[in-house]
Amino acid sequence: MNTDLTLYESKASPNSRRVRIFLAEKGIEIPTRTVDLGAKEQFSAEYVAINPRMQVPTLVLGDGTVIGEVPAIWRYIEEAYPDKPALLGTTPQAKALIAMWERRAEIDGFAAVMEGVRNAVAGLKGRALSGPHAYEQIPEIVERSKMRVAHFFADFNERLKTVPFVAGDAFSAADITTLAAIDFAAGGMKMGIPPGFDALQAWYDKTSDRSASKA
């Protein structure tokens, strides 16, 4: 275990899960500290001093450097542990394709679910967007979010008719975000993979069965 790093995260955070899966796939263990989102610890003075954006996950390095945002944390881990399985690609082509598909999974899937959840859940009133600023919910957005998620399912079902994993032949960070988005949709919006989306369902079954996916 690398004790020079500390990961602040929450089991209730789908973004934290993306980092946990990434670390588990690589077989890396680092110390973690739980931020209780239910108790609003992300707004505490102690945590704001670490991450003024009041978000999880946050990776703190031994020298005090703070890294927020999932892709940035992934990038640090990928480059700090070059002997571990690569999840962001090893060639220029693979790196570009993984970045492209992970971005699509995040925008079309994960962010669409986040938008729907944060504009619907009563406990998030006044917090329609995470971060340091308060934004009121817009209930009308929720229906659009549901449509975005439905399109995400359809688009990725078509993609997975042609490749075994989201970015191509190998499991990558793109699969992690896609899996997190699907589970987030099921839990947060009660939207599961629709019947008949056989390619997406088959991919989901094999991906969710990976031991790291349970992290």
Residue 207, phi then psi, degrees to nearest 5: -75, -45
At 21-41, the pLDDT tens digits run: 999 999 999 999 999 999 999
pLDDT at 179 over 80: yes
At the top level of CATH, the class of 6-80 is alpha beta
CB 212 within 8 A of CB 21: yes
105 pLDDT band, cuts 50/70/90, is very high
Listed in sequence order, the residues at least 6 apart from 11 whose beta carbon sits closer than 8 Å to its beta carbon are 17, 34
Separation between Cα atoms, residue 158 and residue 187, nearest integer Å? 23
Closest CA to 145 of 175, 185, 176, 177: 185
Q: What's the mean per-residue pLDDT of the chain?
A: 97
Residue 1 predicted with pLDDT over 90? no
* Residue 14: CB atoms within 10 Å: 20
| For residues 87-110, average pLDDT | 98
Give me the pLDDT at residue 167, please. Answer: 98
**How high is the pLDDT of residue 177?**
99
Over residues 182-190, the mean pLDDT reads 98
pLDDT reading at 73 higher than 90:
yes
Q: Which CATH class is domain 92-214?
A: mainly alpha
pLDDT of residue 203 exceeding 80, the answer is: yes
Count of CB atoms situated within 10 Å of the CB of 90 = 12
- Kindly tell me if the per-residue pLDDT of 3 is higher than 90: no
Higher pLDDT, 2 or 155: 155
Residue 136 — very low, low, confident or very high, per pLDDT cuts 50/70/90? very high
Q: Integer distance in angstroms from the first to the last C-alpha of the chain?
A: 16
pTM here is: 0.97
pLDDT at 2 over 80: no
Compute CA distances 128 → 3, 48, 134, 160, whole Å: 35, 19, 7, 32
Confidence of residue 46 (pLDDT cuts 50, 70, 90): very high
Q: Could you give the count of Cα atoms lying within 13 Å of 167 in the half-sphere of its Cβ?
A: 26
Q: With a cut of 90, say whether residue 104 has pLDDT above it.
A: yes
Q: What are the domain boundaries of the chain?
A: 6-80, 92-214
